[in-house]
Amino acid sequence: MRKHILLDRGIMYSEILITQLNDFVFCPVSIYFHMLYGDTDRMLYQSNSQINGTAAHESVDNKTYSSKKSILTGLDVYCEKYGLRGKIDMFDTASGILTERKRKVKTIYDGYIFQAYAQYYSLSEMGYDVKKIFIHSMADNKNFNIPFPEEDEEMRIKFERLIDEIHHFDISMYTQSNNEKCKHCIYEPACDRGII
């Protein structure tokens, strides 16, 4: 059962998983299908690139990425301010560097940044001193510096707007308008909200 939080306006909302921020940006309906398929063997519905991405995260998820004591991986976090919960990819307590890892980064999508923001806010509430945020492309070992939300007002507002949109989303009123997203969606064959 999901915990509910009370926001400023007195409205009760469910928590949002950090991973759902990126999913919602890609397509809100993908969250529905992700929950529907649940524990089904991913080999039955994921694309090769998604399977590779999941495999690339195994060392973080299993907390075997590093034996260095300052490296935290797969740490469960919660952000009370925004009602977010999930796991961090990697945080180095010695350097203060928070890293959101992706298999291959060609473009820094808003969803990637919002996941990093969620981890940043969660760690900050937990008393950790985050000094830098990176998106890391594992395939080519590149780091992309992400400004803090306090330094990028436009992205901070978009982040907060996204959280509000998730809470008010009505699947019955939604139709995807981006043909390219449908072409690259693993759930497209089962979806009645797409445009293909």
% of the chain exceeding 70 in pLDDT: 79
Q: Is residue 12 part of a domain?
A: no
For residue 63, what pLDDT band results from cuts at 50, 70 and 90?
low
The contacts of residue 34 (CB under 8 Å, 6+ apart) are 23
CATH of the domain at 126: 3.90.320.10
How far is CA 33 from each of CA 96, 183, 188, 192, 193, rounded to the nearest angstrom?
Answer: 36, 16, 10, 11, 12
Residues 164-175 have a mean pLDDT of 91
For the whole model, what pTM was predicted?
0.79
* Confidence at 5, pLDDT banded by 50, 70, 90: very low
In a domain, 5, yes or no: no
Within a domain: residue 1? no
What six digits make up the tokens of 54? 């999941």
Residue 153 has pLDDT above 60, yes or no: yes
Examine the pLDDT at 168 and tell me if it is beyond 70: yes
Q: Is 131 exposed, middle or buried (0-12, 13-18, 19+ CB in 10 A)?
A: exposed
Q: What order of strands is seen across the sheet that includes strand 97-102?
A: 71-73, 90-92, 97-102, 132-137, 142-145
Determine, yes or no, domain membership for 182: yes
In a domain, 102, yes or no: yes
Residue 119's closest CA among 151, 86, 96? 86
- Please indicate, yes or no, if residue 29 is contained in any of the structural domains: yes
Number of domains present in the structure of the chain: 1
Residue 195's pLDDT is 78
pLDDT reported for residue 1: 32
What's the chain's average pLDDT? Answer: 84
> Is pLDDT above 70 for 160?
yes
Task: Give a yes or no: residue 38 inside a domain.
Answer: yes
| Dist CA 196 CA 185 (whole Å) | 11
Residue 131 in domain: yes
Write out pLDDT tens, residues 67-80.
Answer: 688 999 999 999 99
Q: What is the pLDDT of residues 107-142, one digit of tens each?
A: 999 999 999 999 999 999 999 999 999 999 999 999
Domain that holds residue 128: 17-190
Kindly tell me if the per-residue pLDDT of 64 is higher than 70. no
